[in-house]
A and B are shown apart, each in its own frame.
Chain A
Amino acid sequence: MSGAPARSVDAIDRRLILATQSGLPLVARPYQQLAEQVGIAPQEVMARLARMLDSGVIRRIGAVPNHYAIGYTANGMSVWDVPDERIDELGARIGALDFVTHCYHRPRKLPEWPYNLFAMVHGTSRAEVQAKVAEIAALLGAACRAYDVLFSTSILKKTGLRIAG
């Protein structure tokens, strides 16, 4: 069942996604419950989930902690204006730092938004995040033309992907 190409989600996979997008059933035999919901055998539920894990349709099956609740009460999105011709080299270095959880090259929106490198920094306090951001600034040196740190002050919505039924 492995090696399926990406995007090969058939109608039954789609029903499985619909049945699990709000979460895996919290019962002793969750795949059996899903099998009954979707109308296939439990073995096929497991095989299809395994195939979607292989193809990357499912990144992982696991728990998503609320960062605040596990102690990371400060989360700063640091944003940097660095030269486009060096962004891949600099992005790789910033992304490799152990306190950076996400690092992306994104487009500038001039004139309102000059930043093209985004690095998410988590910490237990704003001061800790600011100290880590200072480490990034030092690493970038003169390549950093401007930066800012946007702290999240509240989660306004967090539902994850919802596909229509």
Chain B
Amino acid sequence: MPEAASIDAVDRAIIDSLQGGFPLCERPYAEVAGPLGISEDQLLERLQAMLDARVLTRFGPMFQVERMGGAFVLAAMRVPEADWQRVLEVVNAFPQVAHNYRRESDRNCDFNMWFVLATETADGIAAAVRSIEEASGLPVFPFPKLQEYFVEMKLAVRT
């Protein structure tokens, strides 16, 4: 498993304060930096450093593709170990694949590649599934959400 990155108390405070509600004003970084006790320049430098170090995967607006008429669907594949690298390259090459995680279970579940398909139109999902199946030669199992019971990151920084 990857190690947690080394970040300091100021970085942690920045991450916690930037979970949402980023100001819409002329100098938003200055507004956020003030209560943190750092300067606008320091905030910008630290944000850039955390993005470079991949402590942050992104900073900016988070779009909900469903509200634009698009779709966001979890899908999985059962990829034989010997074929892993080839299939990974095939799947990741699709721009519709927004996230992709390798997963394993103690019970040897063979659904080992899990990705999220994001498309601008709802029918783009079925087309993407077909294209990935054709390109990889393996079945793709889409798991569209039928009901959402809770979706909000509610994690505090733990390092």
Which residues of A line the B interface, CB within 8 A?
A: 6-7, 9, 17, 20-24, 26-32, 42, 46, 49-50, 52, 55-74, 77, 87-88, 91-92, 94-96, 98, 100-107, 109, 112-113, 118, 122, 124, 148-164
Contact = CB atoms under 8 A, between A and B. Distances in A.
Contact of B146 (A21, A107, A150): A107
A69 B63 contact: no
B139 to A, nearest CB: 9
Contacts of B92: 156-157
A73 B4 contact: yes
A156 B92 CA distance: 8
Interface string B38-78: 00100010011011011111111111110111101010001
B86 interface: no
Identify whether the interface residues of A are mostly helix, strand, loop, or mixed. mixed
B151 to A, nearest CB: 5
29 contacts: A17-B63, A22-B58, A23-B59, A28-B40, A29-B26, A32-B26, A61-B61, A62-B62, A63-B15, A63-B47, A63-B50, A65-B56, A101-B150, A101-B151, A102-B150, A105-B149, A107-B144, A112-B141, A148-B109, A153-B104, A155-B99, A157-B100, A158-B99, A160-B62, A160-B98, A160-B99, A161-B65, A162-B95, A162-B98
Contact of B148 (A21, A59, A104, A154): A104
Contacts of A101: 150-155
A109 to B, nearest CB: 5
A52 B35 CA distance: 27
B113 to A, nearest CB: 7
B63 A57 contact: yes
Interface string B1-35: 11111010000101100111110111111100000
Contacts of A164: 95, 120
Contacts of B152: 101
A9 B62 contact: no
Identify whether the interface residues of B are mostly helix, strand, loop, or mixed. mixed
Contacts, number: 261
Interface in B101-159: 101-107, 109, 111, 113-115, 118, 120, 141, 143-155, 157-159
Contacts of B104: 150-151, 153
A110 to B, nearest CB: 11
A109 B139 CA distance: 12
Contacts of B40: 28
B149 A64 contact: no
Contact of B58 (A50, A58, A64, A88): A64
A57 B22 CA distance: 16
